[in-house]
Structure 1
Amino acid sequence: MVVKFQNSHKLFFFISIVVLLFHFSQLQAQSEEIEKADSLLRIGQFEKAAEFYQLEIKSTKDSSQLAAAYIGLAKSELVQSKFDRALGNYIHAETFTNSQNQQNLQEIYTGIGVVHSKLKNFKKAEDYLKKALNQITTENIFALKVYINLAGLYIETDNPKALSTYQKSLKLAKKLNRKDIQAVVYTNLSNYYIEQKKWLSSKLNAEKSLQIREQLQMPVSVITYNNYGYALVQLGNIKEGINAYKKALPKASLQEKERLLFNLMNAYKGALNYKEALAFSQQYDRVKDSIDAKQYREKIATIQTAYETEKNKKKIELLQAENAHKKREFEQLIIGGIILLGLLIIIGFLYFKNQQVKQKLAKSKLKQQLLQVQLNPHFLFNALQQIQFYIFNNEKENSMDYLANFSRLIRLVLETSNKEFISLSEEIEMLKNYLYLQQSAVSNKFQYFFTINTETDSSELQIPVMLVQPFVENAVLHGVNDHANGEIQLIFKQDVTNQQIIAEIIDNGKGIEHTKKINQQRLHNSMGSAILDERVLEYNKTHSRKIKLQVLEADKTKNSPGTHIVIYMPYRVA
């Protein structure tokens, strides 16, 4: 199996920025500061450009100059992935833009659409991109930009309109004779056909993109060569596919190298050239370790700034209401009482909607973090290494058995990651697969036992998803991992009177105090506990029947007292 580039259709974001910068030179005459900033923006000096835009904002009261400065500042922040700031400045720009200024409104609505798309607010992104399209009266470069953004958005959301929208953007790019954009659209189409498993169509579109790039002497496109190689390998032309991967490798970023090396390793396996496959496997491991270390640092920084980002988003919503108030100052002088009342109602409604959005976003991020804690890259890496070990040692039955459990676990995790509740039978299946994989991967084999005592069929009992697994993981990693005769007991009982499932996780490890000392030295565990505590807290805020936890010593009389976790979970019957 060959790994393709994930989310390579996001080239539409790159095209958006290219077109934004291209058309920035065509804006109406601006002040000297804005002209300097525009020049800096076009050559990629984004931070320096932002300084000139901010200087203009502080020094002028002219609405058109302010609108241009805020649009430029938003663009400089958008290309640096400062999405919350970019959104705020686009909103400022709209405040100072006349409703007849279609060019500014096109810029603003497209920019806001791109920001919402990057923040995964896909419905808002589509709404703003369509608003931008409504401002366009002729088929021009702005229309092309919006079509490409919409196509990328439809890819993100699995919308069947993606193909027709890409085809429409390709037709317009040809009409405008923009071959550079045609090359990018062909690459996006090749990736689309890979998603659809239409290998020949993907190959043909990648070839068209490569031909145009060669004619225009454009830089090597790593994604295009990867798509081309991927389609060739799937069509059975492994040799040419390998050559395509190798052409992309010298220009690839660290993340792109990881995927290319993995593709090369699997391609050589398919060609039965195990020597080359092993060499590329070793290169892949080194690159992946570098990426894991970088992502680990970035994840820490992201978690530390999460709450600040939420506060900034709230400020942006309130700022939008405040700017709307200022824009209507003259009308308020005439019908002040009516407008004031209406404004108060609007602010209250926006605040209510803002709270709803914040709660949904917090829940989404928490689920993602919980998924990362449950199935972190280190565990995935070890699992793949174990499979590789079985294969290289020709242990076919072990490798197939291990791979089957690993696949079932991944499938269950992905299928339930966006759910609030899961059946007890699915939760138990996921735990069994997880424990089997962990048992196979450690040197000191431990034993685990399940006891299920329910009056109702376990497939009908719905419990909060992914609540038990982190405690089982702690029992393995910090309880029985180094224990010569490790045992883990998992007991599930139905309390019909109180309508709750009582889950117990009991291990014979070194106990609570020893685990606390270890946790002080392990960031993973502290982060996992914090996320779990927050999830229980958020659940209890919004549900009348609460989740309760107890942490006890399993047996105080022993040298290794072990740990006894009791979780009281409300259930519902499907």
Structure 2
Amino acid sequence: MKFKSILFIIIVLFSVEVFTQEKESKQNTTTIYSDFVADENGNRLVDIEVSVQGTSKKTITDFNGRFTIEASIGDVIELSKDGVIINTYVYDGSIEYTVEDVSQYRSSKFKSKTIDQFNIEIDAAIKLKNTQPFKSIEHVEKALKSQTSKRGNTDKIAQAYEVLGDVYVNLKQYDLATDNYTTSLNSKSNNSVKLKLAKAYSYAKKYSESNSILSTILNGKMSSLEKVETYELLGNNYKSLKEFSVSESNYVKALALAKANKFTQKITDLNSKLAEVLTIQGKTSQAKNYLDSAISVSKNQSINKRAITNNSVANQYRDQQNFDKEIELKKETLKELEAANLEEVSVENDAEENISVQQLNLDIGNAYAKKKSFPKAIDYLEKSKNEADKVSDIETKKEAVEQLSELYKNVGDYKKALSNYQEYVALVDVLYKKKEKEIEDAVALSKSLSEKQNRINSLEKDRELNESQYKLYETEQQVTVENYKRQRLIIYSLIGGLLLLLAAIYFMYKSNKQRRLANNLLALKSLRSQMNPHFIFNALNSVNSFIAQNDERSANRYLTEFSTLMRNVLNNSEQDFIPLSKEIELLELYMKLEHARFKDKFDYSINIDENLTINEYQIPPMLLQPYVENAVWHGLRYKEEKGFLKVSFIKKNEESIVIEISDNGIGRTKSKALKTENQQKQQSKGMANIKKRVAILNEMYSDKVDVFIEDLYIDTSGTKVILTLKKE
């Protein structure tokens, strides 16, 4: 019999077959107790676990629903399925039992009681929501199915959707979590659920919506811990909104409540958070007092909580440039983890990464590097690299080898610097593939969850429809006109069907939109991966030119600057947008390299409008370089006299800027005429790539980038590229 048989109301009937031992005392004699388990229709149930409470005695019903177990008169017998207790009863030697919750047992006789299938399923869902979330969702769905044809069950519906919201929070599907918490609150208002909804909005970075909910529950009925969490969440939200004084005020209120109620962990966390927000405001002396308090309180906590606190405080000392204190605290944490043989400490906060041995070694190495203590820095970074390799922590290993490459270069060990740099480049490629796999998994997860949520939404619509039908029935009892009753029923049925249809269309649209977004992200990554080898190939042509001219010094200098450029390009290659200031730095370095090769062909300048704040703008990486490359290679290079390349960044209005790339080269028409027949058949890979990237980005970010190319002069000589970039 499958597990779904358990969903029926289980009545346990016993037909005693005692394989006998003499009963001298009915209360103390152990017997071989043999019976069977069946549902209310008499169907035998298999694979039901039967155990004696408080002992290790247990067995499972066979294909005929039978079991045999040692038990004494008065023992409590438990029936369970998949680790979930279905019900219990007291064994007293009777021939037949009717099951009920043992907590209701008041005499030697049981009263007949129906098992609540909803409670069985919802208890299983709660038990599995952290360890087996998909299984938990299935139990919630079964619990809701049990209530589809019932009415007056708003408390149960609210509980089911609250559990579902908890599952989605654990899966980091915050939009689905907020939807289900809202559905729960529609059935029953509850401040605890409102707090969960506010947290889900905060995790989804919807801070205003979160604050709006929190403001409505502050004066409501809550436990002391929930009040602390409410003020703490307000502090977190306002800190993210950069309203630091308001954030500080809420953290202070939360800390006062935590101290009054002796919530030790909260006291530690809030001291650390207050120190962080005070540091941001420049109140470093006050921040130090809170940091000292956090460390002091954490000394009496478990090693996990102490490690989390020490690491958080150490990071704040790092932000204050107090590297000695950072190193001291992180060494202390590292020593404790190694002594306890722990490789990692889990951090509950979704915004922070877990604390690991390899990460601590990396942080200590970086701190020593900032202090210019290169030998110590190298020692810890090598440890980080080795530890990360043991546990396959590619991200940490990549950061470690990148730093090692730089440090070995600083100490003059160029062989190790090159070796680590090559390893870094290889790890970047591995990480890229890993990110691609994560995107595919995320799309698959989203699709799977959407399907499950669609089924659950359908159940809710069915329940609402049934509820409507019940209300309609009650109304019909008071109405004598039969025709009017039928019209009302038809109208409600049509409305229900229309709502279901609209819901299905909406979720199909939402699913297609998510799939299109995922495809665009994959396309962008693919195009960016094509830009790197295209750029490297063109740059290496310049190196080859110097080598051909036997200009060893220029080739060495060019390679050094080229390696710096490549490092920055690789660092930016995983991002859709980078700060405009970084793109300008890359552009300056690239133009410097091209000018080194073609000194007699052109000069250049980069002009930035004095009214322009470049840090306010984001730009796709490597967007400008192909246009500059075209200007040099197809315009200025063929010019007989010395030409000029000019790049200007001009503020157009408060929301956008204009970037002009102009050259007085031979122009597009003449450049095309100089190409061979084979070259004319080939389209520029760089320019085609840029067009595709711009098209995808404009689709995703509402026409953020606009590009226009025209001849600079009337005689078609010279070229001007006009690129408009929006702030948001």
TM-score bracket for this pair, using the shorter chain length: 0.5 to 0.7
Secondary structure of the structure 2 residue equivalent to 1:158: coil
Equivalent in the alignment of 2:64: none
Choose from 275, 286, 299 the match for 1:214: 299
Secondary structure of the structure 1 residue equivalent to 2:181: helix
Change (3 A) 1:189 1:277: same
* Greater displacement, 206-215 / 225-234: 225-234
Residues 1:107 and 2:223 are matched in the alignment = no
Distance in 1 between residues matched to 2:589 and 2:384, nearest whole Å: 23
Choose from 145, 164, 170 the match for 1:79: 170
- The correspondence of residues 50-449 of structure 1 with structure 2, limited to 5 A, is 50-61=137-148, 62-95=153-186, 97-99=187-189, 105-134=190-219, 136-138=220-222, 140-159=224-243, 160-230=245-315, 239-249=324-334, 250=337, 260-261=360-361, 263-269=363-369, 273-282=373-382, 287-289=396-398, 296-297=432-433, 299-300=435-436, 432-438=584-590
Rg (Cα) greater in structure: 2
* Greater displacement, 44-53 / 60-69: 44-53
* Greater displacement, 289-298 / 84-93: 289-298
Q: Give CA deviations for 1:242-266 in whole Å, capped at 9, x if unaligned.
A: 2211233445577756764554235
Following superposition, the deviation at residue 475 of structure 1 comes to 6.1
Following superposition, the deviation at residue 171 of structure 1 comes to 1.5
Following superposition, the deviation at residue 79 of structure 1 comes to 1.8
Distance in 2 between residues matched to 1:377 and 1:283, nearest whole Å: 31
TM-score normalised over the length of structure 2? 0.47
Amino acid at match of 2:177: A
Choose from 680, 683, 695 the match for 1:533: 695
Amino acid at match of 2:586: Y
Distance in 1 between residues matched to 2:278 and 2:128, nearest whole Å: 38
Residues 1:472 and 2:572 are matched in the alignment = no
8 Å contact kept, 1:194–1:202: yes
8 Å contact kept, 1:292–1:377: no
Equivalent in the alignment of 1:420: none
Amino acid at match of 1:245: K
Amino acid at match of 2:256: K
Amino acid at match of 2:267: Q
8 Å contact kept, 2:207–2:237: yes
Q: Give CA deviations for 1:297-324 in whole Å, capped at 9, x if unaligned.
A: 56435766679979999x99xx799899
Secondary structure of the structure 2 residue equivalent to 1:31: helix
Secondary structure of the structure 2 residue equivalent to 1:246: helix
Distance in 2 between residues matched to 1:329 and 1:49, nearest whole Å: 29
8 Å contact kept, 2:658–2:724: yes
Following superposition, the deviation at residue 276 of structure 1 comes to 0.4
Distance in 1 between residues matched to 2:444 and 2:626, nearest whole Å: 27
Amino acid at match of 2:588: Y
Change (3 A) 1:130 1:278: same
- The correspondence of residues 563-574 of structure 1 with structure 2, limited to 5 A, is 567-569=721-723
8 Å contact kept, 1:190–1:227: no
8 Å contact kept, 2:577–2:619: no
Amino acid at match of 2:378: L
RMSD (Å), alpha carbons: 6.3
Following superposition, the deviation at residue 288 of structure 1 comes to 4.8
Secondary structure of the structure 1 residue equivalent to 2:218: helix
Secondary structure of the structure 2 residue equivalent to 1:92: helix
Residues 1:35 and 2:135 are matched in the alignment = no
8 Å contact kept, 1:222–1:252: no
Equivalent in the alignment of 2:23: none
Secondary structure of the structure 1 residue equivalent to 2:304: coil
Distance in 2 between residues matched to 1:268 and 1:461, nearest whole Å: 34
Change (3 A) 1:218 1:186: farther
Equivalent in the alignment of 1:25: none
Q: Give CA deviations for 1:335-384 in whole Å, capped at 9, x if unaligned.
A: x99xx9xx99xx9xxx9xx99xx99xx9xx99xx89x979x999xxxxxx
Where structure 2 has 5 or more consecutive residues not aligned to the other structure, the ranges are 1-115, 338-342, 346-352, 389-395, 400-426, 476-487, 534-556, 712-717
8 Å contact kept, 2:364–2:377: yes
Where structure 1 has 5 or more consecutive residues not aligned to the other structure, the ranges are 1-28, 100-104, 379-394, 418-426, 520-524, 553-563
Q: Give CA deviations for 1:70-105 in whole Å, capped at 9, x if unaligned.
A: 11121022022122332232233233x234xxxxx2
Following superposition, the deviation at residue 238 of structure 1 comes to 5.2
Change (3 A) 1:157 1:325: farther
Amino acid at match of 1:300: E
Following superposition, the deviation at residue 34 of structure 1 comes to 1.7
Change (3 A) 1:439 1:169: same
Distance in 2 between residues matched to 1:306 and 1:198, nearest whole Å: 44
8 Å contact kept, 1:503–1:567: yes
Secondary structure of the structure 2 residue equivalent to 1:215: coil
Secondary structure of the structure 2 residue equivalent to 1:247: helix
Distance in 2 between residues matched to 1:493 and 1:152, nearest whole Å: 37
Distance in 2 between residues matched to 1:453 and 1:168, nearest whole Å: 50
Amino acid at match of 2:275: S
Q: Give CA deviations for 1:434-485 in whole Å, capped at 9, x if unaligned.
A: 223446799986778547999xx896999x966686343346899999xxx9
Choose from 49, 53, 63 the match for 2:136: 49
8 Å contact kept, 1:36–1:49: yes
8 Å contact kept, 1:66–1:93: yes
Distance in 2 between residues matched to 1:242 and 1:500, nearest whole Å: 46
Distance in 1 between residues matched to 2:587 and 2:376, nearest whole Å: 34
Change (3 A) 1:478 1:511: farther
8 Å contact kept, 2:122–2:139: yes
Distance in 1 between residues matched to 2:137 and 2:623, nearest whole Å: 48
Amino acid at match of 2:121: E
Distance in 2 between residues matched to 1:311 and 1:46, nearest whole Å: 12
Secondary structure of the structure 2 residue equivalent to 1:470: coil
TM-score normalised over the length of structure 1? 0.57
Aligned residues: 452
8 Å contact kept, 1:232–1:241: yes
Amino acid at match of 2:432: Y
Following superposition, the deviation at residue 47 of structure 1 comes to 4.2
